[in-house]
Amino acid sequence: MLKNKNILITDATHFVGKPGASVLIREGATVFAQDASFVDENARLAFSELVPGVTPLAEQDPEEVLKAVLAIAGHLDVLVNNDAYPAIRASIDEADIEDFRNTLDALLVRGFTYAKYVAAHMKKRGSGKIIFISSAVPKHGLPNYSMYVAARGGANALAVTLAKELGKSGIQVNSLAPNFIESPTYFPKELLENEETLKKITKPIPLGRLGKPEEAGEYLAFLSSDKSDYITGQVLYFAGGWA
């Protein structure tokens, strides 16, 4: 389904990174992975062992990451902005402005920067896909998490806007917006091992369970494939009916 597709996934050790990369490779894609930890060679080797077939990149600057991909593969078909950052709990009157800036930088500015450089490359080719892995939370809001929700909402809005801007160049842009997915970034192991806490977490989910990271990976594979060529400008919720 993804044979001959070159795909770049960011923040690969977090959120949907590992399961997403694994599914993409299984479906035949050539996958390049970026992560802050990959400046260390041992970290790159460890990820390669976890996800056989992946190419971890040491570069960190978005423009340099793209150059590294192009030097190896010649072109990029799909960018997956798998931006991850802790959801900091704070009421609006107690929120730290520096925390807000850091959240915006990690979950919005960084993805914007990757999209900027990748869009220029894809425009020249007349095709490509940009996928933001964001969140379903902005649809309903979440008290005391305004910094995180604002950043994720911005990413969702960015996907919709870029889809309208880049459609004429043959580029599709969408946001895959999960919530309640098993991930140590947002649901640490100690929470999931507590039966009462898990019941409380899953209570608002119509399907009554957390989503599997691999399920999100399957959805990502579909959005990366030619089967999604007529889907663009969408915030695609993946939250067990919650959104």
The 3-state DSSP class for residue 106 equals helix
Q: What is the DSSP letter of 212?
A: P
Catalytic residue among 85, 117, 148, 186: 148
Q: Where do we find the tokens 């976890």?
A: 50
Q: State yes or no: is 148 an active-site residue.
A: yes
Domains and their CATH numbers in the chain? 6-238 (3.40.50.720)
What value does the mean pLDDT take over residues 155-166?
98
Per-residue pLDDT of 181-235, as tens digits, reads 887 777 888 888 888 888 988 999 999 999 998 999 999 999 999 999 999 999 9
Tell me how crowded residue 168 is: count the other CB atoms within 10 A of its CB.
9
Position 58 scores a pLDDT of 97
Position 166 scores a pLDDT of 98
**pLDDT classification of 114: cutoffs 50, 70, 90:** very high
Tell me how crowded residue 96 is: count the other CB atoms within 10 A of its CB.
11
Provide, rounded to the nearest whole percent, the portion of the chain with pLDDT above 70: 100
Dihedral Cα 119, 223, 69, 74, nearest 10 deg:
-80
Provide, rounded to the nearest whole percent, the portion of the chain with pLDDT above 90: 89
Write the DSSP assignment of 31-46 as a string of letters: EEEE-GGGGSHHHHHH
Residues 6+ apart with CB under 8 A from 139: 177, 235, 237, 243
CA distance 165 to 209: 37
CA distance 23 to 75: 21
pLDDT above 80 for 19 = yes
Is 93 buried (19+), middle (13-18) or exposed (0-12) by CB count in 10 A?
exposed
Q: Which of 46-55, 68-77, 104-113, 210-219 has the lowest mean pLDDT?
A: 210-219
